[in-house]
Amino acid sequence: MGTVWIVLIALLIFTIVTFLYWKLTRNYAEKAYGKKMWNQWGTRTFYWQGALLIGGGVTVLIVLLLKSAHVLTF
C-alpha cells in the first residue's frame, strides 16, 4: 500500500474521530462552562486542544491496530 494511501486513511480516521468527539462532548462542555464562559475564545481553545489530542491518540491506536491486523502495510 502506498504512502499516500496510508496518510489519507490516517487523515480520514482522524477527521471521523475528532468529529465524533465533538458531537458527543460539545453540549456537555457548553453546559459545564456556562454560556458566558463558552463564548470566550480561551475556553474553546482548551476544548479544541483536548479534542485534537484525543483525536490524534485514538488515530494512532487505530492505525497501529490496523497494522497489527495486516490491513495496513508500512
pTM summary value: 0.88
- pLDDT for res 69: 94
* Tens digit of pLDDT at every position of the chain (74 positions): 688 999 999 999 999 999 999 999 999 999 999 999 999 999 999 999 999 999 999 999 999 999 999 988 87
CB 14 within 8 A of CB 56: yes
- pLDDT for res 1: 65
- pLDDT for res 74: 79
